[in-house]
Amino acid sequence: MTSLAQETALRRTFAIISHPDAGKTTLTEKLLMFGGAIQMAGAVRARGEQRRTRSDWMAIEKERGISVSASVMSFEHEGLSYNLLDTPGHEDFSEDTYRTLTAVDSAVMVLDAAKGIETQTLKLFEVCRMRDMPIVTFINKVDREGREPIDLLDEVEKTLALDVVPVTWPIGMGRDLKGVYDLVNDRVIMFDPGRGDHIAEMAVDAPLDSPKLDEAVGAAAAARLRDEVELVRGGYPEFDLESFRAGHMTPVFFGSALKTFGVAELLRGIGRLAPSPLARKTDKRLVEPTEDKVAGFVFKIQANMDPNHRDRIAFFRICSGRFKRGMKVKHVRSGKLMALVNPVFFLAQSRELAEEAFPGDIMGIPNHGQLRIGDTLSEAEDMNFLGIPTFAPEVLRRVRLDDPMKAKQLKKALDDLAEEGVSQVFKPVDGSTWIVGVVGPLQFDVLTTRIESEYGIKAGFEDGGFVTARWVSCDDAKEMDRFALAHKTNMAEDREGAAVYLARNTWQLGRAQQDFPAIRFTATREQH
């Protein structure tokens, strides 16, 4: 049996961050192909199609060409175990994305060679930076005309304030693409324009000064490459593992996800450079992955994955210990023991029962609502993993129920969906109907569709007159009462009964803060 330390060292848990259309889905498919997890390209999409026929809300995803739900894919390659956490790219789902990023140890940033850094890349990068996360850069679509590689690297360096170190270098681009030069091993990975899903690659050992390079790519391309590499080697720092691990330096790979080109280099790069699971902070202490007691946290809830069962899956990141099926862990928030008898693994092709799992692995824990985002499960002492935020909803609407007989069911639907963490439900204290808050307005379309398809209730969302919400608290209970009394029509409770102030405009919020300096207004509610 391998040791816990060995198993931990073999794991790489990462996410891909990118702007929509940069090629994340295509790259994901290809990475899974290298993992032997799927034989054909298109399988990720094909799986998506199957899911969609089962659930209508996925239709929105299809219609708008965006990916709504994040998922987990596990695969193996050259002896290492990878867990790839998918993050939805559309900005309306950023809250979900932020939480998913709390569960990985590194990220791959995919850029379109013609576009460079785009708005969503920047936003997601900022989240990674907050956590000093190591980032590997993949410049995609070099099979098409793109910007000059040096220009792209300069943009990464300047916009993100990161040191960049190219690991491969494109030889030509678009129609003239001959291959990429592997700057570490001095060889050319040849590009064949006819290649699609082949994973075998042709590499030619061709040191820069050898005539083999001219033979491989032609004299003109070889000459140009020699000039460029001279510039590159002079102009960029040496790769420094420590600086990369601290989030200050990014190694850069060039390739084409569509043509399965440069992807093997990228995957090996992740294996070689990206960190295995790291120690994680809790409110008590740092938890090392190699501790023998199992501990971890829930970063995402997905309800109704199977519409026939009102089950929900809690996505749980193991941070320490060797997990064995059937094991009992303490649910710290409730103080109760939970036996994890049927956890699932997300192998790329199917959901499988997890027998054993290690730090860095993600398990799905089916449950009936006991588990919430941010919850810690621990075999060791009571503690809570830190840093999984709840965001203030930026768009608020009032629920409109078309059939008043169904109020109870609607409440249940709203609660269930809120538990997934993408929406929040507030009950105004004046007794009026629920106010739902989301980070992006597109979420309302998703909610409407899901409420209808999964609960059979017709409901809609309309302007409720509120623009923003703040959690309010005060050490002095009397003062809190005075505040609530003065703002009766603004007060609501969240699902956990915490007091929330709903503002009709920013001026009103400012006024309330001014009038009641003892009250704390918070835009996020950290889970613990």
CB 364 within 8 A of CB 351: yes
- Considering only residues 144, 212, 281, 482, which one is a binding residue for ligand GDP as defined by CB under 6 A? 144
> What is d(CA 344, CA 319) in angstroms, rounded to the nearest whole number?
17
The reply, when asked if residue 412 is annotated as ligand binding, is no
Give least dist CB 17 to ligand GDP, A: 10
> What is d(CA 358, CA 352) in angstroms, rounded to the nearest whole number?
15
3-state secondary structure of 235: helix
Q: If we measure between CA atoms, which residue out of 139, 137, 148, 238 comes closest to residue 184?
A: 238
The reply, when asked if residue 19 is annotated as ligand binding, is yes
**Residue 355 identity:** E
Q: Is the dihedral of CA 371, 325, 315, 308 positive or negative?
A: negative
The reply, when asked if residue 25 is annotated as ligand binding, is yes
Our CB check for ligand GDP shows the closer of 35 and 262 to be: 262
> What is d(CA 334, CA 457) in angstroms, rounded to the nearest whole number?
32
The reply, when asked if residue 282 is annotated as ligand binding, is no
- Considering only residues 143, 182, 228, 416, which one is a binding residue for ligand GDP as defined by CB under 6 A? 143
Our CB check for ligand GDP shows the closer of 147 and 226 to be: 147
Q: If we measure between CA atoms, which residue out of 269, 184, 175 comes closest to residue 221?
A: 175
The reply, when asked if residue 142 is annotated as ligand binding, is yes
Tell how far CA 372 is from the center of its chain: 18
**Residue 199 identity:** I
The reply, when asked if residue 431 is annotated as ligand binding, is no
Our CB check for ligand GDP shows the closer of 24 and 317 to be: 24
The reply, when asked if residue 476 is annotated as ligand binding, is no
Give least dist CB 508 to ligand GDP, A: 39
Number of residues that bind ligand GDP (CB under 6 A): 16
Give least dist CB 33 to ligand GDP, A: 14
Tell how far CA 527 is from the center of its chain: 18
Helix, strand, coil shares, percent, the chain, to 5: 30, 30, 40
Q: Between residue 266 and residue 325, which ones bind ligand GDP under the rule CB under 6 A?
A: none
Q: Identify the residue whose tokens are 């036996």.
A: 339
Q: Between residue 238 and residue 277, which ones bind ligand GDP under the rule CB under 6 A?
A: 256-258
State the CB neighbour count (10 A cutoff) for residue 223.
13
Q: Between residue 37 and residue 96, which ones bind ligand GDP under the rule CB under 6 A?
A: 89
Q: Identify the residue whose tokens are 């109704």.
A: 304
The reply, when asked if residue 22 is annotated as ligand binding, is yes
Does residue 195 bind ligand GDP (CB under 6 A)? no
Quick note: the x/- pattern for ligand GDP over 14-43, rule CB under 6 A, is ----x-xxxxxxx-----------------
Our CB check for ligand GDP shows the closer of 25 and 320 to be: 25
Does residue 201 bind ligand GDP (CB under 6 A)? no
Give least dist CB 151 to ligand GDP, A: 18
Nearest 5°: phi and psi at 280? -125, 145
Contact residues toward ligand GDP (CB under 6 A) are 18, 20-26, 89, 140-141, 143-144, 256-258
**Binding site residues for GTP, as ranges?**
18-25, 86-90, 140-143
